[in-house]
Structure 1
Amino acid sequence: MKIKKPKRIMSLFLAALMCVTYWNADMVSNGLLAFIVVITLFEIGVTIYKTLRYGVSVKNGINSNT
């Protein structure tokens, strides 16, 4: 069953209105914390990807590039 555009727009408007209704200082701090967690998880993912893709450049505590 497809949702017609006017109903979809109205449901998006109601969702935004509900979010604004519950907006307070706790949501700001929780939003900031969630943003920091997402950025941290992204950085961890990049580090894991680069480690798996390029390998570890340090062997036995000595930099292998030197």
Structure 2
Amino acid sequence: MWATIKFLGTLFISFIAMIGALGAENPFPLFAVAWGIWIIFIVSLRPRREKELDKEQLIREILDKL
């Protein structure tokens, strides 16, 4: 659920930045915001996957011992 909220927030921020870049005299800072927010979103998802994998491995180890 939290990933969905972050995705929608990222989508909204990048959409507003891209629309703003259409009418801006210098659009490159807004392009940087739009792409930067996607990079932050992707990076924020990576540790969560690693933690889930660690939990799955721990559960497998415990079940193997039983």
* TM-score, length of structure 2 as denominator length: 0.45
Higher helix content, 1 or 2: 2
* TM-score, length of structure 1 as denominator length: 0.45
State the structure with more CA Rg: 1
